[in-house]
Amino acid sequence: MRASQAVVIAALCVSGVGFGQAADKEAAAILELGGDVSRNLNGGWSAGPTGAVEFTPIENWLEIEAGVTPAFSRHAMEWDTDLLFKKPWTLSRKAEFMFGVGPEWVHTRQSGISTNSLAGEAALDFMFWPSSKRRFGWYLEPAYDYTFARGHERSVGMSFGLLIAIP
């Protein structure tokens, strides 16, 4: 019995694939870290860091991204928290495209007054992976935001940064 166990263990070690592992395993999630620049269509620019995590509940059909962006402008600070539902398309082994829409919560502090509002966001997501292993990459994500609060602010922006695959 011990000899057969040793043969099985040796075969697994030599093959490079263990129990429960696929040869081409996709990441459990993707971490996006970068920057964001946006312009309010009523006037004014803002910029700040951005971070998000993205995972795939339905392969080739649905990716969900949850992110947060603090945006700083001349006289205001805004925190945008979004949840995007994206449809992915694989362009090549090293490039992906996604279209996403979803809700966004906007917390703004301007002139000592804080406001909260609900918004909608639509985004195009371009992901580039230099290696076919897809451990690290970079992304560009242009987006359009529409706030449902009084004034119905609209803005366009561009997020960009580093992709890090989480195994």
Q: Who's near 10: CB < 8 A, 6+ residues apart?
A: none
Per-residue pLDDT, 26? 81
**Which residue type, as a one-letter code, is found at position 160?**
F
Residue where the block lists tokens 């649905």: 62
Per-residue pLDDT, 151? 85
Say which CATH number the domain at 32 has: 2.40.160.20
| 167 residues of the chain, pLDDT tens digit each | 454 444 444 444 444 443 443 445 789 999 999 999 999 998 899 999 999 999 999 999 999 999 999 999 988 999 999 999 999 999 999 999 999 999 999 999 988 899 999 999 999 999 999 998 899 999 999 999 999 988 899 999 999 999 999 99
Per-residue pLDDT, 2? 52
The closest of 77, 90, 85 to 104, measured between CA atoms, is 85
Per-residue pLDDT, 24? 55
Give how far the C-alpha of residue 154 lies from the chain's centroid of Cα atoms, to the nearest Å: 21
Residue 105 lies in a domain: yes
DSSP-derived letter for residue 10 is: H
Residue 78 lies in a domain: yes
Q: Who's near 91: CB < 8 A, 6+ residues apart?
A: 97
Residue 154 lies in a domain: yes
Residue 6 lies in a domain: no
Structural domain range at position 96: 26-166
Residue 109 lies in a domain: yes
Residue 35 lies in a domain: yes
**Domain count of the fold of the chain:** 1
Residue 69 lies in a domain: yes
